[in-house]
Amino acid sequence: MIEPDVFVIADNILSPLGKTTAENFLKLKENISGVKQHYEINISPQPFYASLFDKDEIFIRDDEHQYTKFEQLLIASIDDAVKGTGVSAKDEKTILIVSSTKGNIGLLETEANNAEIKKRIALSTSASLVSAHFGFINQPIIISNACISGVLAIITGMRLLRSGQYENAVIVGADVISEFIMSGFQSFQALSPQICRPFDKAHDGLNLGEGAGTIILSTDKKYEQNIKVMGGAVSNDANHISGPSRTGNELAYAITKALKDAALTAEDIDFISAHGTATVYNDEMEASAIISSALRPVPVNSLKAYYGHTLGAAGLIECIISVHSLKEGLVLPTAGFEEAAFSNPLNIIDSPILVQAKNFLKTASGFGGCNAAVVFGK
């Protein structure tokens, strides 16, 4: 059986930089970052740098269901993306995929720890509420695999559509920052005391961020002029619960398999959207993986200094921005990058570049040793 092409037909980014993809892309072109210093005692006793929504911001109006902030983000992002697509939640050939690392975990900080709250914080509960809001008739799929969740959700959607089981996939991801998440990263000493600097000699940790992203995929041939999800792959380095591989061989394996799945070679990749967290170990591992995949000359960027690390939304947001970079022929810079951290450096973009690009690679890695790579192309 010949597998159908999988097309990107719509998207949304909902972040502190804007409520639509267009608003977000414009802010990035203007070199505006959502990362700022915050002093939120309910998140951290010390000031910290992060990209956060305003405390009083409301994303949807619905007093009846009392959706959490996390669920509001999912609903608002889907609602904007699906408008005008003609994709129906009530179509048995449409699947909803929800990506998150921590979902409603912050409720444990404000509610009694009992059976009811355990059910409320379950990702399956949130996915069911979001599914019911739109009337999806298929049971939603949940992807929660640390920081590769967003990229893995796209790969999962691509595979389901290729199989013919579904014709449309609505893929959404979100996370909100809580004391639980902040304290976890603080315990690893993984947070930067300034705006993060991916791949830079002075990189000293990451910033966290809030946001949501939605990408809608379809095999409908009327979209054959659209950008396609060409291929993807995942791997696990089984190195450590929080520390990445020291060699990068396992991420390189995922990259190689993704290229093979896309029927492309390293020479076909025009730019790379890296995970680029600005932690020393992740940057070094990712650089090694890219170099060993014969991609060292390819322009690389990281968007973490604009959005912070948005966890389950990161892969989606960064893929969406890169899709629009492909459309406009404009690859955005790595904010905060000045001098390479390694003696054998990557081709890190430090200013916007105009390119005649056909394909890009997106990489991601996360706790537990997980790695993912996905390729998009015209």
Considering the domain architecture, whether residues 187 and 254 belong to the same structural domain is answered as no
Domain end point (choices 222, 253, 280): 222
Predicted pLDDT at 168? 98
Residues 218 and 229 in one domain: no
**Same domain membership, residue 339 and residue 273:** yes
**CA–CA separation, 60 and 76 (whole Å):** 6
d(CA 252, CA 61): 45
Query: Could you tell me the pLDDT band of residue 212, with boundaries at 50, 70 and 90?
Result: very high
pLDDT of residue 113: 87
279: domain CATH number is 3.40.47.10
Of 222, 257, 288, which marks where a domain is finished? 222
Q: Residue 344 pLDDT > 80, yes or no?
A: no
Average pLDDT over residues 297-320: 98
Kindly tell me the burial class for residue 233, based on how many C-beta atoms sit within 10 Å of its own C-beta (0-12, 13-18, 19 or more): buried
Q: Residue 111 falls within a domain, yes or no?
A: yes
When pLDDT is averaged across residues 220-228 and rounded to a whole number, the result is 97
Nearest alpha-carbon partner for 315 in 305, 332, 325, 302: 302
User: 248 and 180 share a domain?
Assistant: no
The token pair at 4 is 């159908």
Question: Both 171 and 42 in a single domain?
Answer: yes
Beta bridge partners of 212: 14, 174
- Please check whether residue 1 lies inside any domain of the structure: no
**Position 239 pLDDT exceeds 90:** no
Domain boundary among 222, 239, 263: 222
321 band by pLDDT with thresholds 50, 70 and 90:
very high
One domain, residues 52 and 183: yes
- CA 56 – CA 67 distance, rounded (Å): 15
Same-domain check for residues 189 and 231 = no
Angle at 173 between CA 159 and CA 78, to 5 degrees: 95
Q: What percent of the chain has pLDDT over 70?
A: 100
Q: Is the model's pLDDT at 255 over the cut of 80? A: yes
Q: Which pLDDT value is given to residue 241?
A: 82
Average pLDDT value for the chain: 96
Q: Do residues 247 and 214 both lie within one domain?
A: no
Query: pTM for the complete prediction?
Result: 0.98
pLDDT (tens digit per residue) in 146-188: 999 999 999 999 999 999 999 999 999 999 999 999 999 999 8
Q: For residues 192 and 57, state if they share a domain.
A: yes
For 267, residues 6+ apart whose C-beta sits below 8 A from its C-beta are none
The answer to whether residue 271 scores a pLDDT higher than 90 is yes
Residue 62 predicted with pLDDT over 80: no
* Within-domain flag for 2: no
In a domain, 94, yes or no: yes
The reported pLDDT for the residue numbered 112 is: 86
Q: Do 273 and 321 form a contact (C-beta atoms < 8 A)?
A: yes
pLDDT higher than 90, residue 305 = yes
At 56 the pLDDT is 85
Q: Which of the four pLDDT bands, split at 50, 70 and 90, describes residue 327?
A: very high
- Pick the closest to residue 266 from 171, 373, 166, 148 (CA basis): 373
The share of the chain scoring above pLDDT 90, in percent, equals 92
Residue 64 has pLDDT above 90, yes or no: no
My answer on whether 288 and 304 are in the same domain is yes
288 and 371 share one domain: yes
Give residue 340's pLDDT band: very low, low, confident or very high (50, 70, 90): very high
> In terms of domains, do 182 and 255 share one?
no
Residue 304 main-chain phi, psi, to 5 deg: -65, -25
Tell me what pLDDT residue 245 has.
Answer: 84
Q: Which domain holds residue 113?
A: 7-222
pLDDT band at residue 125 under the 50/70/90 scheme = very high
Predicted confidence (pLDDT) per residue in 65-78, tens digit: 889 999 999 999 99
Report residue 288's pLDDT band, with 50, 70 and 90 as the boundaries: very high
When divided into structural domains, the chain yields a total of 2
pLDDT confidence of residue 61: 83
